[in-house]
């Protein structure tokens, strides 16, 4: 990784050839906090704590593998000529949408195996997940990545962005739009809203906390992805924007169909179907 004047050190500790990066530490903190929040809400919904630990043991490796597969797939013109680098995840190259898809596929299989209600589980996990995503974006900040086009210091100051963030946005001698910051704030606002609204009676049916998370995250990601300069592409389209549109449109459709056909219980009812 190139280093730039004034950039923060992305490495926390180094033991010989072993390096501990801030990116990993920040992601780990987000996961731990998300686990704690999920366990607390899970108890309210009658889900034993051990289920969350067991799920995480499967979800973390699957999510990492899927995040890498997603990234490699849309960078295949490069990796087809460098197949030895496909597994070199330590050099960077993972995609959050791949991790989310892998995590929820794992959850689906886990819930079926454990005879748990998937809709209850995703409702419990969704607010914690978007919080972890908001925290995780600060790993991008430490790595000076996931930024946007070239801008000016004056433009960043005009947005009332703190100087220590502006300084880190000086990448290769040019200031960059801090898209990581925009997405982090969007995610954390979404987390606050879901936490405030989740417990309101007769607001959410079972599964709709999760579907609301999908709509919120997809809407923000679509807009912010359009500002980035490192998007994974599908022809002339940004693949994250394509998925964002699909998810944003699908979530309310599923919500309406479930209300009409499945008639799910309210989130706070004792019926976990």
How far, CA to CA in Å, does 257 sit from each of 197, 248, 251, 261, 264?
A: 22, 15, 10, 6, 10
Distance CA(135)–CA(26), nearest Å, equals 7
Is the pTM higher than 0.75? The answer reads: yes
Cβ(183)–Cβ(221) under 8 Å? yes
What was the pLDDT predicted at 34? Answer: 98
Q: What are phi and psi of 156, to 5 degrees?
A: -70, -40
What was the pLDDT predicted at 272? Answer: 47
pLDDT tens digits for 121-140? 999 999 999 999 999 999 99
pLDDT tens digits for 13-71? 988 888 899 999 999 999 999 999 999 999 999 999 999 999 999 999 999 999 999 99
Sign of the dihedral through C-alpha 182, 183, 184, 188: positive
Q: What are phi and psi of 170, to 5 degrees?
A: -85, 95
What was the pLDDT predicted at 6? Answer: 63
Percent of the residues in the chain that have a pLDDT greater than 90, as a whole number: 86
What was the pLDDT predicted at 226? Answer: 97
pLDDT surpassing 60 at residue 81: yes
H-helix segments, the chain: 22-44, 49-73, 76-79, 96-114, 118-143, 153-158, 163-168, 179-197, 208-225, 239-257
Mean pLDDT of 215-225: 98
Mean pLDDT of 210-224: 98
Q: Which residues contact 264 (CB under 8 A, 6 or more apart)?
A: 119, 205, 206, 207, 208, 258, 273
Q: Which residues contact 131 (CB under 8 A, 6 or more apart)?
A: 30, 33, 34, 37, 187, 188, 191
Distance CA(114)–CA(51), nearest Å, equals 9
């Amino acid at each position: 990784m190139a280093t730039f004047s004034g950039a923060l050190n992305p490495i926390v500790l180094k033991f010989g050839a072993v390096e501990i990066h801030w990116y990993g530490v920040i992601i780990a903190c987000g996961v731990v906090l998300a686990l704690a929040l999920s366990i607390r809400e899970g108890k309210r919904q009658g889900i034993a704590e051990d289920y969350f630990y067991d799920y995480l043991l499967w979800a973390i490796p699957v999510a990492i593998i899927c995040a890498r597969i997603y990234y490699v797939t849309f960078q295949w013109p490069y990796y087809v000529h460098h197949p030895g680098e496909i597994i070199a995840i330590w050099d960077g190259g993972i995609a959050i949408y791949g991790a989310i898809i892998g995590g929820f596929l794992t959850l689906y299989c886990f819930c079926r195996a454990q005879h748990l209600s998937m809709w209850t589980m995703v409702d419990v996990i969704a607010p914690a997940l978007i919080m972890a995503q908001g925290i995780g974006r600060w790993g991008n900040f430490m790595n000076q990545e996931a930024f946007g086009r070239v801008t000016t210091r004056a433009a960043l100051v005009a947005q009332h962005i703190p100087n220590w963030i502006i300084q880190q946005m000086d990448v290769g001698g040019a200031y960059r739009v801090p898209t990581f910051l925009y997405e982090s704030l969007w995610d954390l606002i979404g987390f606050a809203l879901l936490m405030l609204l989740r417990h309101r009676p007769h607001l959410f049916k079972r599964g709709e906390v999760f579907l609301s998370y999908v709509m919120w995250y997809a809407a923000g990601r679509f807009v912010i992805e359009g500002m980035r300069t490192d998007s994974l592409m599908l022809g002339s389209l940004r693949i994250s924007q394509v998925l964002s549109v699909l998810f944003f449109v699908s979530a309310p459709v599923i919500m309406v169909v479930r209300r009409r056909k499945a008639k799910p219980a309210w989130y706070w009812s004792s019926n976990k179907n």
